[in-house]
Homo-oligomer: A and B are copies of this chain.
Amino acid sequence: MILTFTVFGTGAVGAYYGGRLAELGNTVHFLARSDYDTIKESGLKIHSPKGDIFLENPSVFNKTDDIPPSDVVLIALKTTGNSILREQIAPLVHKDTALLVLQNGLGMEEEFQSWFPENPVLGGMCFICSRKKAPGIIEHLDYGLMTLGALNPDHKDLRDEVGRLMDEASVPVTLVDDLHEARWRKLLWNIPYNGLTVALNCNTQDIMTNPDSRHLIRVLMEEVIAGAAVCGCVIEKEAVEKMLIFTDKMTPYEPSMKLDFNYKRSMEIEYMYDRPLKEAASRGYVMKSVFMLRDQLKFIQSRY
């Protein structure tokens, strides 16, 4: 099976994973907007401790209509644009085109599936620190692991093949059978750290080294575990301690939502907070502290 790819959103995440696939000779089309001219002219550069990538003449586009059909479309835009994504992405979705959702949050895969009921939908949780340094220039700082799952068990083979190609392209992949659970596990980190670094205007280390905010992280994580549980996803209690230790060891870090806040960009509140809250509440559990954080984030965003 030779798979071809389109990267929908050539930012810090899309460019990295697409770049890794392309450097090995896979066919990868990139959809870029603001950076299109620069990439067309000067190529796509990814600085990385795992080896720099320079794509001198990438297959880059600024309109979806021009992109040739591919087997897999990597969705690498922020969820804040998802309300208009269906229409934007439709020209790329041919019969059998698979959608690989690299976004943060909950419920994206189900949404994409509802829009394109016949197409395979995969989800990839990216554990990566990377950022755009300048148009066409990505700086990959650390990590890069992808947890990969298929929404529908019928597409396990496809998941395995995408995983194999990623692995070949120096992207360490963890395959999971339960995508829903994997999404909740990612939320265990995303919900407390994204929201609190915004609400408290600080980085991960600031939160971890203060006993009161550290307590808050723990409370939020325990709520996420309880929320996941009513939604049928069992996350062991030890995961809290593990996450704390993992984050203690991390370089002081501003998560994506904090960067969005810094630059007064729209925050991914809906998919990262509203949807998990809604899913748990519909099963009878209100994540009260998560709800409070959400209300604060919405307030903060309203005052940009």
Judge if A175 is at the interface, Cβ distance under 8 Å.
Answer: no
Give the contact-size bracket for chain A: 20 to 34
Judge whether B302 and A212 touch: CB under 8 Å.
Answer: yes
| Per-residue B-contact encoding for A286-300, CB less than 8 Å = 1, 0 else | 001101111110111
Selected interface stretch from A52-60, A213-221, A239-247? A213-221
Judge whether B296 and A216 touch: CB under 8 Å.
Answer: yes
Judge whether A295 and B213 touch: CB under 8 Å.
Answer: yes
Q: Is the interface of A mostly helix, strand, loop or mixed?
A: helix
Contacts A216-B296, A295-B215 given; does A210 touch B288 at CB 8 Å: no
Judge whether B303 and A202 touch: CB under 8 Å.
Answer: yes
C-alpha gap A288/B213 in the complex (Å): 14
For A199, A216, A292, A296, which residue has the most chain B Cβ atoms within 10 angstroms?
A292
Q: Give the Cβ gap from A295 to chain B, nearest Cβ, in Å.
A: 4
Judge whether B292 and A212 touch: CB under 8 Å.
Answer: no
Which residues of the other chain, B, contact A213 by a CB distance below 8 angstroms?
A: 295-296, 298-299
Judge if A200 is at the interface, Cβ distance under 8 Å.
Answer: yes
Judge whether A216 and B303 touch: CB under 8 Å.
Answer: no
Number of copies: 2
C-alpha gap A219/B292 in the complex (Å): 9
Q: Give the Cβ gap from A191 to chain B, nearest Cβ, in Å.
A: 13
Which residues of the other chain, B, contact A212 by a CB distance below 8 angstroms?
A: 294-296, 298-299, 302
C-alpha gap A298/B210 in the complex (Å): 9
Which residues of the other chain, B, contact A296 by a CB distance below 8 angstroms?
A: 199-200, 212-213, 216
| Chain A stretch 152-177: residues in CB contact (< 8 A) with chain B | none
Which residues of the other chain, B, contact A289 by a CB distance below 8 angstroms?
A: 288-289, 292
C-alpha gap A293/B219 in the complex (Å): 12
C-alpha gap A213/B299 in the complex (Å): 6
Closest to A217 in B: B295
Q: Give the Cβ gap from A302 to chain B, nearest Cβ, in Å.
A: 6
Which 4 A-B pairs rank lowest in CB-CB distance, beginning with the nearest? Answer: A212-B298, A216-B295, A213-B299, A212-B295
